[in-house]
């Protein structure tokens, strides 16, 4: 590291001070910056008020080397961040031709273009422009008065994409230390059990380090090294990761992936097969998660969302009496759903999910009782899960989907499909 | 209002600056305070570093009347908030007998009691103690140097409970003003067009006020009044809301709702009908969104996710040659999908969605070309959308879903199903 690069994130937006939205931008920026070795020292939130924004910029200039703003770049009269930051650093706003053209292309043809729209293409003179691939307002960065100023749009998707695409590469140039960090994603065992497994090792480590984090329905171990070069960093983290793999083994579903469906996609690309889904309690969410990924159509042929017995009978070719005799939430019906969708759509694998996501029970099962089934040429496998108690509908649905993808992953890698998770 | 009571929320915790957790405490506090007429002017986050916390307290003393801290009240050596705040206001920490007893009762029997545990019962002299009903660390409030200081625990559950149980009643005594605020959710016209429509009025308003906010795929107008009573506040916002309804009219899909599917659910509860979905490019997301809502099974019977022509033919009963002649992404196929799922599942309404969510095109259409169709006894209605250009796959999918629910909403309320949005 050439120097400390203390960073302050200044979020501008009255909606944050009214509690209408949560400041996830500050979290995302902090998380990504910490991974490249830049220390965030302060977050500040201020409303859309010119004088208060000016005052906060003055405070930030005193205590930070890098000031990152979020929000206030849009087309409305509340959006003042660029004007105020440029003013605070004695810069003019000038029209950026490329962004002006991009705005024209985006808004035209046939739509009314307002004066305010074009304010978005006015940027501080001499700045580096960050094109917004998810919205209209560009971000930018400039150096002035010995500070680095970066301005990002407020909507979380836009902010996050710009961070990954433009800001991290821009900031990496400021540092001569490389941070190498990998996350081992783990499904089926809890963060506290991971913590127990590695507590003494983790306490003894300084560089590289290892830290467990709980996500909503799984957890991860982050292994991080600081080194002079990327190669050196990779060499430092490799033995730690291999050790974790030895201990946690088949519960590690992927490295540096965002989700278990992404890990499944990577496996499918290596060893293609087709699959289909029959969803009851998850209501389309399991299909949605896979089809969020580009290229899904190569492996996922389709599915049925069957919210009634009649629809289960109709779309999956299951005898209606059979469903009613066994109860729609049951081992035999889950099995028949996976087999039915596999047969109807002619896929290599069929997956069936039926259960109670709540809030109400059915008098037979408890909320959170879910059956997840995988049918393939080798036979049909069913997990009987109890995900309920204090859990929410959204947790139960998401967790059921994780089990479906975990079963598919284990099927594809030759592991026992039913085993492999804490009951 | 006796006086302004500008408030700053100072959150203490390095985990916030590393992006490991999101600052939901600041959002919760802001939301609750705004409802009792206290203005939150700043949020600040600082790490567990004594000097930086002192500096932030000094800044807060200059610009706020009420300082609310979160975090740093626990039993570890990082937990310094009470010591530092007491020191900043020249107060001593003294042992609180009731809290000491409560700690004994809570931690004993059988567990090792550390010295640090008891630091939690040391509180600023003369303070009002807020007992923690969800954890061990008490919160407190004191008045000094003309400021009100309130200290709350960091864990969101503890913070939230203490807010409701103790802090709001404590602060109500400072204010004799009520805030009434409603949000009008709008689909089909952009935030910048809303801004144009109302810019001069908004600038002229002081109480009540009106402000537009952009959400990912729609926008909202927030109308807020400060008044002596809730009834008076409601009376102040009502004519403003009626005026907005007159101008924006049928594009307002709901008041104080979170999403367009929630608005549709409210309509269905008043005038029940059944519907089904045939999804291609949205891949189950439109079904997932409705089934996120408890009670969905009363109105939504099921759906088909049809990612290939063969599956469209099989599950929707559409002739495969017809699909291939017309192209799967086309007006006739969208129409046939809506009609097919309605017929197959026997629902009042069938909705069909086919399009290109990207990232790759099909050589015929551009990414973002989507056809959304609604079939009912009155006939079949199709919207031809161009959602692409710089937009992401996830935006295109979400926006297609919003159009589907907007068409259903318009069908149910007797409006022109196809019209009503900016092209």
Judge: B358–A20 Cβ closer than 8 Å, yes or no.
Answer: no
Where do the CATH 3.40.980.10 domains begin and end in chain A? 7-172
- Asked if A290 and A300 touch (Cβ cutoff 8 Å), the reply is yes
CATH architecture of A260-412: Alpha-Beta Complex (3.90)
* Residue A108 binned pLDDT confidence (cut-offs 50, 70, 90): low
Residue B258 DSSP one-character state? S
pLDDT at A3: 54
Residue A243 pLDDT greater than 60, yes or no: yes
Grouping H, G, I as helix, E, B as strand and the rest as coil, residue B241 is helix
- Work out the average pLDDT over A115-127: 87
**B206 exposed, middle or buried (CB, 10 Å; 0-12, 13-18, 19+)?**
exposed
- Work out the average pLDDT over B43-49: 94
Residues in B touching A307 (Cβ below 8 Å)? 291, 296-297, 300-302
Where do the CATH 3.30.70.2860 domains begin and end in chain A? 178-255
Cβ contacts from A onto B, under 8 A: 278
Residue B4 pLDDT greater than 80, yes or no: no
- Over the stretch B80-124, which tens digit does the pLDDT of each residue have? 899 999 999 999 999 999 998 888 777 655 556 666 677 889 999
CATH number of B7-172: 3.40.980.10
Matching residue, tokens 């929410």: A392
Residues in B touching A191 (Cβ below 8 Å)? none
Chain B stretch 253-292, residues whose beta carbon is closer than 8 A to a beta carbon of chain A:
276-277, 279, 282-288, 290-292
Residue among B44, B294, B302 whose CB faces A304 most closely: B302
CATH architecture of A178-255: 2-Layer Sandwich (3.30)
Judge: A358–B47 Cβ closer than 8 Å, yes or no.
Answer: no
Residues in A touching B422 (Cβ below 8 Å)? 111
Integer CA distances (angstroms), A91 to A117, A145, A324, in order:
21, 11, 73
Integer CA distances (angstroms), A227 to A169, A182, A208, B27, in order:
18, 14, 9, 38
A304 shares contact with chain B (CB less than 8 Å): yes
Beta bridge partners of B122: B95
Residue A60 pLDDT greater than 80, yes or no: yes
* Residue A191 binned pLDDT confidence (cut-offs 50, 70, 90): confident
Matching residue, tokens 């026997």: B346
B216 shares contact with chain A (CB less than 8 Å): yes
Residue B412 pLDDT greater than 90, yes or no: yes
* Residue A2 binned pLDDT confidence (cut-offs 50, 70, 90): very low
Residue B379 DSSP one-character state? E
Residue of B nearest to A344 (CA): B314
pLDDT-wise least confident of A16-20, A160-164, B53-57, B305-309: A16-20
B4 shares contact with chain A (CB less than 8 Å): no
B6 shares contact with chain A (CB less than 8 Å): no
**For a pLDDT cut of 90, what percent of chain A falls above it?**
70
B170 shares contact with chain A (CB less than 8 Å): no
pLDDT at B214: 80
pLDDT at B104: 79
Residues in B touching A47 (Cβ below 8 Å)? 41
Where do the CATH 3.90.950.20 domains begin and end in chain A? 260-412
pLDDT at A1: 39
pLDDT at B63: 95
Q: Report the C-alpha gap between B72 and B48 in whole angstroms.
A: 8
Residue A101 pLDDT greater than 60, yes or no: yes
Judge: B214–A111 Cβ closer than 8 Å, yes or no.
Answer: no
Residues in B touching A31 (Cβ below 8 Å)? 18-20
State the nearest Cα–Cα gap between A273 and chain B, in angstroms.
15
- Over the stretch B177-201, which tens digit does the pLDDT of each residue have? 777 889 899 999 988 889 889 989 9
Beta strands B275-279 and B349-355: pairing type? parallel
B164 shares contact with chain A (CB less than 8 Å): no
Buried b (16+ CB within 10 A) or exposed e, A29-39: bbebbbbbbbb
pLDDT at B107: 66
Helix extents (H) in A163-270: 168-172, 191-204, 230-248, 260-270
pLDDT at B1: 39
Q: Report the C-alpha gap between B423 and B420 in whole angstroms.
A: 9
Residue among B26, B216, B314 whose CB faces A23 most closely: B26
pLDDT at A382: 98
CA B411 to the chain's CA centroid: 27
Residue B292 DSSP one-character state? T
Torsion angle (degrees, nearest 10) of CA A126, A130, A131, A134: -150
A354 shares contact with chain B (CB less than 8 Å): no
- Over the stretch A371-399, which tens digit does the pLDDT of each residue have? 999 999 999 999 999 997 667 888 899 99
- Work out the average pLDDT over B6-18: 93
Select from A283, A355, A367, A400 the residue whose CB has the most chain B CBs within 10 Å, as the one to mutate to test that interface: A283
State the nearest Cα–Cα gap between A132 and chain B, in angstroms.
8
Judge: A301–B294 Cβ closer than 8 Å, yes or no.
Answer: no
Residue B294 pLDDT greater than 60, yes or no: yes
Mean pLDDT for all residues in chain B:
91
Task: Provide the token pair at A285.
Answer: 């969410």
- Work out the average pLDDT over B394-417: 96
Residue of B nearest to A345 (CA): B311
Residue among B28, B284, B394 whose CB faces A19 most closely: B28
- Over the stretch B62-80, which tens digit does the pLDDT of each residue have? 999 999 999 998 777 667 8
pLDDT-wise least confident of A333-337, B10-14, B34-38, B236-240: B34-38
Give the E-state strand segments of A337-377 in sequence order: 349-355, 369-376
- Work out the average pLDDT over A135-139: 90
- Asked if A260 and B362 touch (Cβ cutoff 8 Å), the reply is no
ipTM, two decimals: 0.78
Mean pLDDT for all residues in chain A:
91
- Work out the average pLDDT over A210-220: 83
Residue A17 pLDDT greater than 60, yes or no: yes
- Asked if B244 and B252 touch (Cβ cutoff 8 Å), the reply is yes
State the nearest Cα–Cα gap between B366 and chain A, in angstroms.
14
- Over the stretch A281-296, which tens digit does the pLDDT of each residue have? 999 999 999 999 999 9
Q: Report the C-alpha gap between A25 and A346 in whole angstroms.
A: 44
Residue A422 pLDDT greater than 70, yes or no: yes
Residue among A23, A106, A314 whose CB faces B345 most closely: A314
3-state helix, strand, coil in chain A (%, to 5): 40, 25, 35
Matching residue, tokens 């989907």: A401
- Indicate the pTM of the whole model: 0.79
Residue A103 pLDDT greater than 90, yes or no: no
A317 shares contact with chain B (CB less than 8 Å): no
pLDDT at B180: 84
Residues in A touching B397 (Cβ below 8 Å)? 291-292
B314 shares contact with chain A (CB less than 8 Å): yes
Residue A122 pLDDT greater than 70, yes or no: yes
Residue B144 pLDDT greater than 60, yes or no: yes
- Over the stretch A302-343, which tens digit does the pLDDT of each residue have? 999 999 999 999 999 999 999 999 999 999 999 999 999 999
> Which of A46, A16, A19, A42 is closest to B42 using CA atoms?
A46
Residue B218 pLDDT greater than 60, yes or no: yes
Grouping H, G, I as helix, E, B as strand and the rest as coil, residue B90 is coil
Residue A145 DSSP one-character state? T
Residue A136 pLDDT greater than 90, yes or no: no
**For a pLDDT cut of 70, what percent of chain B falls above it?**
95
B47 shares contact with chain A (CB less than 8 Å): yes
B296 shares contact with chain A (CB less than 8 Å): yes
pLDDT at B77: 66
């Amino acid at each position: 590291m050439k120097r400390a690069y203390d960073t302050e994130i200044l979020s501008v937006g009255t909606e944050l001070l009214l509690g209408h939205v949560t400041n996830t931008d500050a979290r995302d920026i902090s998380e990504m910056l910490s991974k490249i070795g830049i220390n965030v020292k302060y977050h500040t939130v201020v409303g859309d008020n010119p004088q208060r924004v000016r005052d906060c910029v003055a405070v930030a200039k005193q205590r930070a080397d890098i000031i990152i703003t979020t929000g206030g770049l849009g087309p409305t009269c509340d959006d003042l961040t660029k004007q105020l930051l440029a003013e605070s650093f004695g810069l003019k706003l000038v029209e950026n031709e490329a962004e002006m053209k991009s705005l024209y292309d985006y808004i035209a043809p046939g739509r009314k273009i307002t004066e305010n729209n074009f304010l978005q293409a006015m940027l501080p003179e001499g700045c580096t422009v960050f094109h917004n691939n998810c919205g209209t307002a560009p971000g930018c960065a400039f150096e002035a008065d010995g500070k680095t100023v970066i301005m990002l749009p407020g909507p979380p998707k836009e902010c996050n994409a710009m961070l990954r695409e433009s800001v991290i590469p821009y900031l990496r140039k400021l540092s001569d230390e490389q941070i190498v960090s990998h996350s081992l994603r783990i499904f089926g065992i809890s963060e506290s059990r991971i913590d127990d497994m590695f507590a003494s090792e983790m306490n003894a480590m300084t560089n590289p380090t290892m830290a467990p984090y709980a996500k909503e329905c799984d957890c991860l171990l982050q292994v991080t090294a600081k080194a002079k070069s990327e190669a050196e960093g990779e060499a430092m983290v490799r033995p730690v990761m291999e050790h974790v793999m030895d201990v946690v083994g088949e519960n590690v579903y992927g490295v540096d992936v965002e989700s278990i469906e992404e890990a499944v996609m990577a496996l499918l690309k290596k060893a293609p097969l087709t699959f289909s889904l029959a969803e009851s309690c998850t209501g389309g969410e399991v299909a949605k998660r896979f089809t969020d990924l580009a290229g899904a159509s190569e492996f996922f042929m389709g599915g049925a969302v069957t919210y009634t017995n009649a629809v289960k009978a109709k779309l999956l070719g299951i005898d209606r009496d059979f469903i009613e005799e066994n109860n729609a939430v049951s081992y035999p019906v889950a099995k028949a759903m996976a087999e039915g969708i596999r047969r109807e759509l002619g896929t290599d694998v069929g997956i069936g999910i039926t259960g109670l996501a709540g809030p109400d029970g059915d008098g037979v099962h408890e909320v959170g009782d879910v059956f997840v089934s995988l049918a393939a040429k080798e036979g049909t496998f069913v997990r009987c899960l109890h995900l309920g108690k204090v859990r929410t509908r959204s947790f139960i649905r998401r967790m059921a989907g994780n089990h479906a993808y975990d079963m598919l992953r284990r099927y594809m890698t030759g592991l026992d499909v039913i085993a492999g998770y804490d009951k």
